[in-house]
A = this chain, B = another copy of it.
Amino acid sequence: MTDSPHKEDMKKLQKEQREKVKSKLIDRGILIVNTGDGKGKSTAAFGTAMRAVGHGYKVAVVQFIKGNWSTGEQKIFEKFDEITHVVSGDGFTWDTQDKSKDIESAESGWQKVEALIEECRGDNPKYHLIVLDELNIALSYGYLDVKKVVDVLRDKPENLNIMVTGRGAPEELISIADTVTEMKPIKHAFDNGIQAQRGIEY
């Protein structure tokens, strides 16, 4: 067994990778969207928030649907002063059964978002990352005006990173985003009669 052909391949990959990295010259904060019907949209946002905190950055998390992040996340958040956690909304839409109340919640959440973004302007920006969890739901249900939201996100401070989650991201948001991932369900334990697992799925 010889490593030579493999080694050649790997050298080529290494060279390509290094050139790729070198050619990436723009350094600014990005707008990230996690959408799709699969798992992991909010969980990846939570992971990204914790990674940023690990680097010593400040992070704000705004939840547009109450109850989406559970006691597990909550207890981790409480341990870190770097995290500002805002809950907008009074519960899942199928629990409130009151559209006007949901719209009110979404709008009060959005006002908070605008205020958080303002705190990131100037020489001393407060947050490295703002997570807008389930904002896509508020947009796709028509609880918030897509144009209004897109205008604010497009004009975000240059170094600020924003991560938006939720199924059904509107096209207008996708078009201004830098990185968009669709979490696509291939299969789900729930469909085979298995309960959601505490400490894993919630």
Interface residues of chain A, those whose CB is within 8 Å of chain B, are 1, 3, 6-7, 10-11, 13-14, 17, 20, 23-30, 32-36, 38-48, 50-55, 57, 70-76, 79, 93-100, 128-129, 161, 163, 174, 177-190, 192-200, 202
Contacts and interface: CB of A to CB of B under 8 A. Distances in A.
22 contacts: A3-B98, A10-B99, A14-B95, A28-B194, A30-B194, A30-B200, A33-B186, A36-B184, A39-B44, A40-B40, A44-B47, A45-B47, A48-B200, A50-B76, A51-B200, A57-B199, A178-B188, A179-B188, A179-B189, A180-B185, A181-B186, A183-B183
Copies in the complex: 2
A40 B197 contact: no
Contacts of A73: 50-51, 54
Given A40-B41, A55-B198, 16 more contacts: A3-B97, A6-B97, A10-B94, A24-B190, A26-B194, A26-B195, A32-B39, A32-B189, A32-B200, A39-B181, A40-B44, A40-B181, A44-B47, A54-B72, A54-B199, A180-B185
A7 B97 contact: yes
A159 B30 CA distance: 39
A71 to B, nearest CB: 7
Contacts of A13: 93-94
A14 B29 CA distance: 39
A97 B10 contact: yes
A54 to B, nearest CB: 3
Nearest to A5: B99
Contacts of A94: 10-11, 13-14, 17
A162 to B, nearest CB: 10
Q: Which of A29, A47, A174 has the most CB of B within 10 A?
A: A47
Contacts of A50: 46-47, 50, 72-73, 76
Contacts of A25: 193, 195
